[in-house]
A and B are shown apart, each in its own frame.
Chain A
Amino acid sequence: MAYTTFNRNINDQLKEPMFFGNAVNVSRYDQQKYPIFEKLIEKQLSFFWRPEEIDVSKDRIDFQQLPEHEKHIFISNLKYQTLLDSVQGRSPNVALLPIVSIPELETWIETWAFSETIHSRSYTHIIRNISAEPHKIFDDIMLNERILERAVDVTRYYDDLIDGINLYQRCGEGTHQINGKSEQITLRELKKRLYLCLMSVNVLEAIRFYVSFACSFAFAERELMEGNAKIIRLIARDEALHLTGTQHMLNILASGDDDPEMAEIAKECEEESYAIFMRAAEQEKDWAAYLFKDGSMIGLNKDILCQYVEFITNSRMQAVGLKPRFATTQNPIPWINTWLVSDNVQVAPQESEISSYLVGQIDNEVDTADFGDFDL
Chain B
Amino acid sequence: MPQVRINGEVVVNFDGSSPNLLQFLEQQQQAVNYQCREGFCGACRCKLLNGQVSYLQEPLAFVRRGEFLPCCSIPKTDIELEIPK
User: Could you tell me which A residues sit within 8 Å of B by CB distance?
Assistant: 36, 39-40, 43, 237, 240-241, 243-244, 247-248, 251, 315, 318-319, 321, 329-331, 334, 337, 340-342, 344
Question: Using Cβ atoms and an 8 Å threshold, which residues of chain B touch A330?
Answer: 31
Do A251 and B62 touch (CB < 8 A)?
yes
Min C-beta distance of B58 to chain A, whole Å: 8
CA distance A334 to B33 in the complex (A): 9
For B58, B62, B64, which residue has the most chain A Cβ atoms within 10 angstroms? Answer: B62
| Given known A-B contacts A240-B40, A244-B42, A329-B85, A341 and B35 have beta carbons under 8 A apart | yes
| Given known A-B contacts A241-B40, A318-B84, A342-B38, A247 and B62 have beta carbons under 8 A apart | yes
CA distance A370 to B11 in the complex (A): 61
For A241, A244, A321, which residue has the most chain B Cβ atoms within 10 angstroms? Answer: A244
Do A315 and B43 touch (CB < 8 A)?
yes
Do B36 and A237 touch (CB < 8 A)?
yes
Question: Using Cβ atoms and an 8 Å threshold, which residues of chain A touch B62?
Answer: 244, 247-248, 251, 319
Question: Using Cβ atoms and an 8 Å threshold, which residues of chain A touch B61?
Answer: 244, 247
Min C-beta distance of A317 to chain B, whole Å: 12
Question: Using Cβ atoms and an 8 Å threshold, which residues of chain B touch A318?
Answer: 45, 84
B58's nearest neighbour on chain A, judged by CB, is A39
CA distance A251 to B42 in the complex (A): 14
Do A240 and B33 touch (CB < 8 A)?
no
Do B38 and A344 touch (CB < 8 A)?
yes
Question: Using Cβ atoms and an 8 Å threshold, which residues of chain B touch A39?
Answer: 58, 60
A247's nearest neighbour on chain B, judged by CB, is B62
Question: Using Cβ atoms and an 8 Å threshold, which residues of chain A touch B31?
Answer: 330, 334
Please tell me which one of the listed residues A43, A251, A329, A334 contacts residue B40 in the complex, with CB atoms under 8 A apart. Answer: A43
| Given known A-B contacts A241-B60, A247-B62, A331 and B33 have beta carbons under 8 A apart | yes
CA distance A237 to B62 in the complex (A): 16
Question: Using Cβ atoms and an 8 Å threshold, which residues of chain B touch A244?
Answer: 40-42, 60-62
| Given known A-B contacts A39-B60, A247-B61, A318-B84, A341 and B43 have beta carbons under 8 A apart | no
CA distance A251 to B64 in the complex (A): 9
Min C-beta distance of A41 to chain B, whole Å: 11
The B25-45 residues at the A interface (CB cut-off 8 A) are: 31, 33-38, 40-43, 45
Do A319 and B42 touch (CB < 8 A)?
yes
Min C-beta distance of A97 to chain B, whole Å: 22
Do B37 and A342 touch (CB < 8 A)?
yes
Please tell me which one of the listed residues B38, B42, B43, B60 contacts residue A36 in the complex, with CB atoms under 8 A apart. Answer: B60
